[in-house]
Structure formats: structure tokens, C-alpha cells
Amino acid sequence: MNARLLPYVLILPVTVFLCIFFLYPFVLVAQQAFGSDTGWSLDNFRDVVSHWKFSISLWNTLLLAAVVVPVQLALSLLMATMVSKMKRGRDLVLYVWTIPLGISDLAAGIIWLAIFEQSGFLNSMMHGLGFIDAPMNFISYQNMTMVFIAIALAEIWRATAIMLVILVAGIGLIPKEYYEAAEVFGASPWKRFLKITLPLLRPSLQTALVLRVILAFEVFAVVAALGGTLFPVLMGETYSYQFDLSNSGAAAAIALIILAISIASTLVILRALRVPKGATI
Amino acid sequence: MAEIQIKNVAKTFGAYQALHDINLTIADQEFMVLLGASGCGKTTLLRIIAGLETATTGEVWIGGRRVDHLAPKDRGIAMVFQNYAVFPHLTVFENIGFGLRMAKMPNAEVTRRVERVASLMHIEQLLKRYSGELSGGQRQRVAVARALAMEPDVILMDEPLSNLDALLRLEMRAELKGVLAESKTTAIYVTHDQVEAMSLADRISVMHQGKIVQAASPIEVYRNPAAHFVASFIGNPPMNFLRAEPAGSGKWKVAGETVDGPVSAATPLQLAIRPEDMRLADDGLKARVKLVEPLGAHLLVTCDVDGTMIRAVLDSDLTVKVGDVLTLAPQPDRVRWFDPQSTLAVA
Ligand SMILES: Nc1ncnc2c1ncn2[C@@H]1O[C@H](COP(=O)(O)OP(=O)(O)OP(=O)(O)O)[C@@H](O)[C@H]1O
Ligand SMILES: [Mg+2]
């Protein structure tokens, strides 16, 4: 076979698969979003954006991402650094830490609901220890901060590990000699983390952050389980337009808005963490 | 003052003993070269001095201070790594200035020092590049410059010029020696290039299988090798060895000839003589020529002496053909003797 053609032939199956199962539905969604009785229009977007719930869900989604992602970034960096320093038992620790990854997001939401409910673990524990007299209602519209904290906690618990595994792999790729050189030239452990680990981890940080941020904008099941309608998010709105209101044009419009936000944030992350030419390991 | 003392240092990796009971004192401002074949433990010893590896037993003292328990940065050293370890995410400038920045030196001073050492190493035009855009030899010079910029008391260099072409290496060698002498730095320099060792060293420590076999001035190591290994390792072409049988009271039989030798020994020894210390004479060893290599300045002749191959460096205007039988006389004051059992020199 012609060597110039071969690579294209090899990627053909994947390309076809993606076209059928990704590009085609995407075109359909776009058609729905931009279509109306009178041909092409932005009516769907106008309707969706002007609805009173839109700005709340947008704000909630962004706020949740803004709180959860940095915490997860810090946590996963800390955990990855610790794991990489371990000589023995590191695989075991990694397995344990990544268990939440194997749990569906709805199940994760339900687990945390079981903790925070009025008859949940947290209440029984605090009651048992005598901190409170009667079970408290943590998750209610009167206590929005607590709702937010519960959702954020569940998200952090559920999805930190995905960043962790990427960062552990990335740290493993940094040659030991750079740390030794830094040590000889006077860098403290903290300085080594700042001056060696972080910059050399940029490619992994990019991947981890892009993945995580996109997932954060798509947050749905955990919120649904814990907050229900108390805490509207964009993905939840998509769901309710599609299935409660049977307005698939509006649902498609919100889906596209989420996509736009995801693409924009991806570009920002890639740009912020780009590695200059010639500066790779 | 930065004298380095290594006392009874040994190092084992699992079951493998990489260093055996090393004892070495390097005087303040001395240029010490560690010379030895690949895998003999040079890097390991250097890393122990630097504090990147802990000795299994033994002590390391720098400047009258025991430093075993100190972190590398508190030992007053700078190091050139064998694999360079030039940071890929920093420019050449920031690489060279890395240690200075860690020491919180003011910007102007950093710039001054970086530019000075960069010009010494002929890399001033590369300061804005990243390491991915450098050749191996350029990277190596960045690594040397980074260590020099620290103006340390002690500089440890692990084959710092191994990747340069011959001409540049010659030049850098001279630069390095000059700079270090001027800055009164104590230097340990690892190499397996004996010419480099000879030309740079105040003293050479020859290492073999995790031991220091001899530590002495270059000329001493060359003229009076303390062991068979040193004799065969140093010198190009290498030293010749001939079997010698005792013939009573300081007389030895070598290839049928009687030679004066040590009085003390009574078991067979090895007579050692450098190729350039053989002369054509009327009286001496009968050598049948096997190979003639004209080297310009000299003639390198390989011959068979009673079944042993030896080499002799002769005058280039001699006409010698393969098959000729030469009579070669070792210069008596250059003959050395080794005990094949202990492999040590016999006086
Ligand atoms: N971390 C380690 N674990 C196990 N063995 C090691 C380790 N480091 C070095 N060794 C072994 O110790 C011996 C000495 O290694 P070292 O790197 O000091 O050699 P060297 O003299 O620097 O060789 P070269 O000239 O090739 O650089 C080698 O046999 C090597 O295999
Ligand atoms: Mg080495």
C-alpha cells in the first residue's frame, strides 16, 4: 500500500465513527437550535436567555466550577505529589483514591444525599455525639449555602481522582535529575514544586483542567440528587426543556451555549498553560 | 577554605557493592581528577560528596565540617551533572541563573554573573534559547556555566566536556582550569579520558571496581603506577608487560635475557615498560615485527617477544618491515615490576 495513503486509511474507521455518532447528531442539534417556523433564526437562544432561570443557572454552573475546580486542582496536585514520593504501596493508595471514579455521578449524589439528609449519617452522628438536639434540615431552600457546600463536596469527592491519575502520570514523566539539580542549586522542596514540578507538569495540567472544567459545566446528576430544583444549573435546564417542556429547540440552544462555554474555557486553559517551543522535556 | 575529606566511604546498592572503603583527601583549591573505566563508581562517589546519595558507611567532610547529614544546598558545592540536567522549561539565561535566583541575588548581579560565565563557555549568543533548541555540547556548556555562576567553594564536575569536539574541548579545558585556579575553587572532575586527566589534574585518583587504586600527581601515576590496573589503563599505547622468572639475587630472566630487577621477590613477576621507553640496541630482547604503524612523529611497532605482543615507539625515520627481528632494550630506569598475584607494584 502507498505509504502516503496508509495513515489516512488507518484513521478512516475512527473518522467515520466520529462523523456518524458525533458530527451528525451535532449538526442535528444545531439545526434544532437555529431552526424555527420561519427558517434560520436566533429565536430559541433569545427565548432561553431571556428566561428568568437562565442567568441563575448560568451563575450557579460557573460558581460551582469556580469553586470546585481550583479545590480539586490543589487537592489532586497535593495527592499526586504525595503518591509520587511513595516507594511502597503507591498502587494500593492510588486504587483506593480512584474508587469514586468507578461510581456513577447519580450514585455519588445519592451517597452524599444519604449523608446530608434529615435522617442521614451526618445528623445521626452529630445527634449521637450530642452536638444537636434534633436532626437539622441541611438541604433546604432556607439553607442555600449548605446546599451549595453539599454539592461542591460531592463533586470534589467524585471527580478529583480523574485529575489525580492524569497528574500522577505526568509527574512520573519528569526526570529525577531535574529535582536533583534544583536541590544542589539551592531550591527548597516548595521551590522545587513551584519551579520544577509545576512548569514541567503543564501538559498534564492542561489535559486535567480541560477535562475537569468541561465536566464541571456539564454537572447534572449530583446536583439533581442533592439540590433538586433548589439549585438550577445549565445542564438541568437542558433536561427540563427537553423532557418536561418538550421544547427541543430550546434544549438544543442551551446545549450549544454549554458547548460554547466549554470551548472558550478550553482555549483559555490551553493558552494559559502553553509550553513555549523548544521548552519541552 | 574547602578541603574535602572522604573517610571510609562505602556504598552498596542492594547486593551490589559500588564503592569499597574510599579514603581520599582533596586539599583546598586542589584540582582532583577521578579517572576510571565506565561503571567503576565515579558518579556514585561524586553524588555522595554532593549529598544526592547517602553513603552506606563512612563520613564526608567539607571545609572542616562534617556534611553527611546536610542537604546538598548547605554543602557549599555546585555540580555539573553527567546528563547535564539543564532545565527544559527555562531559557539558557535562567538556567545559568537558577542557583543565583534561589539565593535571592539582585537582578543586576545575576545578569552580570550569567553574562560572564556564558562568555567564558562561548554560549553568550544562546542565552534566550530553550534547552530543546541546543545541541548536546551546548547543553553541556550550559551545565558547566550554571555551576561556575555559583562561584562555589567546591565544584563537582561529572564528565563536563565529554560531548564537545576535540578542538573545543581543548579550549574549554584551558578556560576551566584558568577560571577555577583564579577563583580558588576546589574541584573534583570526573572523566574517563586520560589525556584530559593528565592535562588538568593537580592529582589524579585512579578508580577501579569501586576502589581508589592510586591517588597521585599525573606524572607519578604515569611513571610509577601503583598497580597493574593503573599501568595498563594509563598511557596510549598502553604499557608492555613481560613475564619474568627469578634467576637469583636481583637477576630476572625475561624472554631468554637476564635483566636486573627487585631483590626482594622470589616468585615470578611482570616486567613493565612503556612503548616509548624502548630503544634499539645491540643487546636486548629479540622482537619479531608483526605490525608497523607510522604515526607521523613516531613509528609504532608491534612485535612478538617470546610469544608476548609488545609495542615500541621508535624513531620515524627508521626503516622497519614486518618480519624483521629487532633488538629492543628497555631503558633501565623506566622499568617497573608488578606482582601478578597481588597486582601491586614491587620496588
Ligand atoms: N541507583 C543505583 N542502583 C543500583 N546500582 C547502581 C545505582 N547507581 C549506580 N549503580 C551501579 O554502581 C556502579 C557504579 O556506577 P557509577 O554511575 O558510579 O559509574 P561511573 O564510574 O560513573 O560510570 P560512567 O563512566 O559510565 O559514568 C555501576 O555498576 C552501576 O551499575
Ligand atoms: Mg558516571
ipTM of this predicted complex? 0.88
Question: One-letter amino acid identity for B247?
Answer: A
Please list every residue in chain A whose beta carbon sits closer than 8 Å to the beta carbon of residue B71: 183
Give the pLDDT confidence score for residue A229 in this predicted structure: 81
Please report, for chain A, the start and end positions of each structural domain, with discontinuous segments joined by +. Answer: 53-272
Choose, out of B79, B87, B131, B188, the residue to mutate when testing the contact with A (most A CBs < 10 Å): B87
The CATH architecture of the domain made up of B237-346 is Beta Barrel (2.40)
Give per-residue pLDDT as tens, B153-162.
Answer: 999 999 999 8
Lowest mean pLDDT among A173-182, A234-243, B22-31, B75-84: A234-243
B72 touches chain A (CB under 8 A): yes
As a whole-number percent, the residues of chain B with pLDDT over 70 amount to: 100
Please list every residue in chain A whose beta carbon sits closer than 8 Å to the beta carbon of residue B89: 199-200, 202, 275, 279
Give per-residue pLDDT as tens, B53-67.
Answer: 999 999 999 999 999
The three grid cell numbers given for residue A199, joined into one nine-digit string: 512548569
The three grid cell numbers given for residue B49, joined into one nine-digit string: 560528596
Can you name the CATH fold of A53-272? MetI-like fold (1.10.3720)
Quick check: A73 pLDDT over 90? yes
Average pLDDT over residues B83-100: 95
Average pLDDT over residues B209-213: 94
Which B residues 76-135 touch A at CB under 8 Å? 77-79, 81, 83, 85, 87-90, 98-99, 102-103, 129-133
Q: Which CATH class is domain B4-232?
A: alpha beta
Q: Do A181 and B50 touch (CB under 8 A)?
A: no
Confidence class of residue B119 from pLDDT cuts 50, 70 and 90? very high
Average pLDDT over residues B21-50: 95
The three grid cell numbers given for residue A81, joined into one nine-digit string: 505529589
Query: SS3 for A143?
Result: coil
Please tell me the residue having the least CA distance from ligand 1 atom 2: B13
Give the pLDDT confidence score for residue A35 in this predicted structure: 80
Confidence class of residue B43 from pLDDT cuts 50, 70 and 90? very high
Please report, for chain B, the start and end positions of each structural domain, with discontinuous segments joined by +. Answer: 4-232, 237-346
In contact, B191 and B33? CB cutoff 8 Å = yes
Give per-residue pLDDT as tens, B166-208.
Answer: 898 998 898 889 889 888 999 999 998 899 999 999 999 999 9
- Residue B13 CA to ligand 1 center (angstroms) comes to 9
Average pLDDT over residues B12-32: 95
Nearest to B102, CA basis, from B72, B128, B132, B122: B72
Give the pLDDT confidence score for residue B30 in this predicted structure: 94
Give per-residue pLDDT as tens, B223-248.
Answer: 999 999 999 999 989 999 999 999 88
Instruction: Kindly give, in sequence order, each residue whose CB lies less than 8 Å from that of residue B242, ignoring residues fewer than 6 positions away.
Output: B254, B255, B270, B271, B272, B273, B285, B305, B306, B308, B310
Average pLDDT over residues B37-50: 94
Q: Do B52 and A180 touch (CB under 8 A)?
A: yes
Please list every residue in chain B whose beta carbon sits closer than 8 Å to the beta carbon of residue A180: 52, 72, 81, 85
Q: Count A/B contacts: CB-CB distance under 8 Å.
A: 70
Q: Which of A24-33, A103-112, A231-240, B112-121 has the highest mean pLDDT?
A: B112-121
Average pLDDT over chain B, rounded to whole? Answer: 93
Give per-residue pLDDT as tens, A83-116.
Answer: 988 888 888 998 898 888 888 888 888 888 888 8
Q: What is the chain A residue with the closest CA to B89?
A: A279
In contact, B228 and B346? CB cutoff 8 Å = no
Average pLDDT over residues A157-162: 90
Give per-residue pLDDT as tens, B331-342.
Answer: 999 999 999 998
Please list every residue in chain B whose beta carbon sits closer than 8 Å to the beta carbon of residue A278: 129-133
d(CA B91, CA A8): 38
Query: SS3 for B142?
Result: helix
Give the pLDDT confidence score for residue A32 in this predicted structure: 85
Give the pLDDT confidence score for residue A246 in this predicted structure: 82
The residue to mutate among B9, B12, B13, B211, having the most atoms of ligand 1 within 8 angstroms of its beta carbon, is: B13
Helices (H) and strands (E) in chain B, counts: 9, 20
The residue to mutate among B42, B205, B213, having the most atoms of ligand 1 within 8 angstroms of its beta carbon, is: B42
d(CA A114, CA A121): 7
Quick check: do B4-232 and B237-346 share a fold?
no
Give the pLDDT confidence score for residue B269 in this predicted structure: 93
Lowest mean pLDDT among A133-137, B132-136, B155-159, B181-185: A133-137
Give the pLDDT confidence score for residue A31 in this predicted structure: 86
- The answer, yes or no, to whether any atom of ligand 1 lies below 6 A from the CB of B13, is yes
Average pLDDT over residues A198-204: 94
As a whole-number percent, the residues of chain A with pLDDT over 90 amount to: 41
Quick check: A135 pLDDT over 80? no
Query: Which residues are placed with Cβ below 5 angstroms of ligand 2, an ion?
Result: B 43, 82
Q: Do A278 and B52 touch (CB under 8 A)?
A: no
Only one residue has cell 445521626, namely A124
As a whole-number percent, the residues of chain A with pLDDT over 70 amount to: 100
Quick check: B309 pLDDT over 70? yes
Q: Which residues of B199-208 are buried (b: 16+ CB within 10 A; e: fewer)?
A: ebbbbbbbbb
Average pLDDT over residues A57-86: 93
Give the pLDDT confidence score for residue A36 in this predicted structure: 73
Q: Which of A30-39, A102-111, A237-246, B32-41 has the highest mean pLDDT?
A: B32-41
Residue B331 sits at the vertex; the CA angle it makes with B330 and B332, to the nearest 5 degrees, is: 100
Cα dist. A83→A80, A165, A179, A183, B330 in Å?
5, 10, 16, 20, 66
Omega before B237 within 30 of 0, i.e. cis: yes
Q: Which residues of A168-204 are buried (b: 16+ CB within 10 A; e: fewer)?
A: bebbeebeeebbbbbbbbbbeeeebbebbbebbbbbb
- The answer, yes or no, to whether any atom of ligand 1 lies below 6 A from the CB of B136, is no
- Residue B45 CA to ligand 2 center (angstroms) comes to 9
Quick check: A38 pLDDT over 90? no
Confidence class of residue A48 from pLDDT cuts 50, 70 and 90? confident
Confidence class of residue A1 from pLDDT cuts 50, 70 and 90? low
Closest-lying ligand 1 atom to the alpha carbon of residue B47: 18
Positive or negative, the Cα torsion across B165, B166, B167, B172? Answer: positive
Cα dist. B144→A27, A139, B109, B139, B203 in Å?
58, 63, 19, 9, 21
Lowest mean pLDDT among A115-129, A181-195, B124-138: A115-129
Query: SS3 for B312?
Result: strand
Instruction: Kindly give, in sequence order, each residue whose CB lies less than 8 Å from that of residue B100, ignoring residues fewer than 6 positions away.
Output: B109, B110, B113, B114, B149, B150
Give the pLDDT confidence score for residue B96 in this predicted structure: 97
Taking phi over 0 as left and psi of -120 to 50 as alpha, with beta for the rest, B85 belongs to left
